[in-house]
Structure 1
Amino acid sequence: MTIRRRGDLFVPEEQDRRLDARTTGDERGILADVLAAQRATLELKCAGVEGDLARRSVEPSTLSLLGLVRHLADVERRWFRRVLAGQDVPLLFSTDAEPDRDFDGAVPDPAVVAEAWRAWRAEVAFAEAFVAAAPDLDITADDGWRGAVSLRWVLIHMIEEYARHNGHADLLRERIDGAIGV
């Protein structure tokens, strides 16, 4: 019998790109690497259960892995495209009229799943390019909700956002197939 622990790695160490994150060096590099590791955690928690990504947690919640992917695509888009880059673009999955459509619209349709991943990857790519090209972490933009925010604050907020939702992903994945680990 194999004993399982929540502290075990979700994948074998040699396959876990999260372990590539810098632990010393410049602030931008460390923040970008920690955020990349959080993004990779979301991908790992969703891997291998594509047909169950829309499975809800428990009634009446609409929380699902697919909903998290859609939600985080919108969060990436909001902070990096809309706030920091100043682009006048709509969110992808939520609207003012349907603020929870990122979760409510997460249905078990292969086209919906594919679109969520395509959107999420596009927003992550934009964010990574934006961070790499920014002159420094002190650039600021005005957010209607928080006021002036710096790139540094957005990176820290995004790490927190992913970390919180990756905790949800842990529970959702365990409900789907019993997989546990970090």
Structure 2
Amino acid sequence: MDSAERVDGPAVERWTRATVHPDMWVDPADDPREDEAEGVDERSALLAALRHFRLTLEMKCAGLDAEQMARRAVPPSTMSLLGLVRHMAEDERHFRRLAGEDLPRIYRTAEDRDGDWNGAVADPAVVDDAWRRWRAERERTDRFIEGFADLGTRTAGGDPLRDILLMQITEYARHCGHADLLRERVDGRVGQ
């Protein structure tokens, strides 16, 4: 069992099996990103969007080994799917930093501001660590958001939580576009 299978568990088979639409990851009726949040309140809609893009990142990485996860896009770019997972772990933490929490960086340092990308090497332990940290930071962000009854509440950082949440959704959406291209470069897989 490779590193991605251990991380993603049963989702790997579900997200990588053939479908009636060969260019898609899963049949539309089985897409785990679909949610009943349509037409509901603002909070539910924003959290559904965040969930959607988090799942998209996982889907785009499903079934890959450490070498594939760490494969760089196009020189001189240091972007890789593994780098994206590490970057988004850093961004989940940055979300709470913007809200006023005093938190150290995970991968970036004063000496290596791109440590999230540069440290994304083809080692199963590095891949496992990236997924573990991303999931832990994601859970901490979710608990943080739960602490606010009103998304209009200003955080300790001075911004309304809504604004920070929208920035986080935008960051995921942008990087999921990168993940589409990176995955296509790894194995030609495209679609939703």
TM over 0.5: yes
Indicate which of 61, 67, 71 corresponds to 2:83: 67
Q: Which amino acid counterpart does residue 76 of structure 1 have in structure 2? A: E
1:41 aligns with 2:56: yes
Q: Which amino acid counterpart does residue 67 of structure 1 have in structure 2? A: G
Secondary structure in 2 matching 1:140: coil
Q: 1:21 to 1:110 in 2, by over 3 A?
A: farther
Equivalence for 1:158: 168
Q: How many residues align?
A: 173
Output the TM-score relative to the length of structure 2: 0.83
Rounded Cα–Cα distance in structure 2 between residues aligned with 1:42 and 1:25: 24
1:137 aligns with 2:151: yes
The answer (yes or no) to whether the contact 1:21–1:34 under 8 Å persists in 2 is no
1:24 aligns with 2:39: yes
Equivalence for 1:176: 186
1:118 aligns with 2:137: no
Matches within 5 A, 1:32-111: 32-51=47-66, 52-80=68-96, 82-84=97-99, 86-111=100-125
How far has the Cα of 1:96 moved from its partner?
A: 2.4
The answer (yes or no) to whether the contact 1:138–1:152 under 8 Å persists in 2 is yes
Indicate which of 27, 38, 45 corresponds to 1:12: 27
Q: 1:73 to 1:21 in 2, by over 3 A?
A: farther
Q: CA RMSD in A?
A: 2.0
Q: Which runs of 4+ in 1 moved over 6 A?
A: 2-5
Which is strand-richer, 1 or 2? 1
Q: Deviations over 1:116-139 (max 9, x none)?
A: 000000111111122122121012
Q: 1:136 to 1:3 in 2, by over 3 A?
A: closer
Q: Which amino acid counterpart does residue 59 of structure 1 have in structure 2? A: P
How far has the Cα of 1:23 moved from its partner?
A: 1.2
Rounded Cα–Cα distance in structure 2 between residues aligned with 1:56 and 1:4: 28
Output the TM-score relative to the length of structure 1: 0.88
Q: Which amino acid counterpart does residue 168 of structure 2 have in structure 1? A: M
> Which structure has the higher relative contact order (CA within 8 Å, separation 6+)?
1
How far has the Cα of 1:98 moved from its partner?
A: 1.1
Q: 1:128 to 1:116 in 2, by over 3 A?
A: same
Q: Which amino acid counterpart does residue 112 of structure 2 have in structure 1? A: E
Where in structure 2 are there 5+ consecutive unaligned residues?
1-18
Where in structure 1 are there 5+ consecutive unaligned residues?
none
How far has the Cα of 1:108 moved from its partner?
A: 0.5
Rounded Cα–Cα distance in structure 2 between residues aligned with 1:16 and 1:174: 19
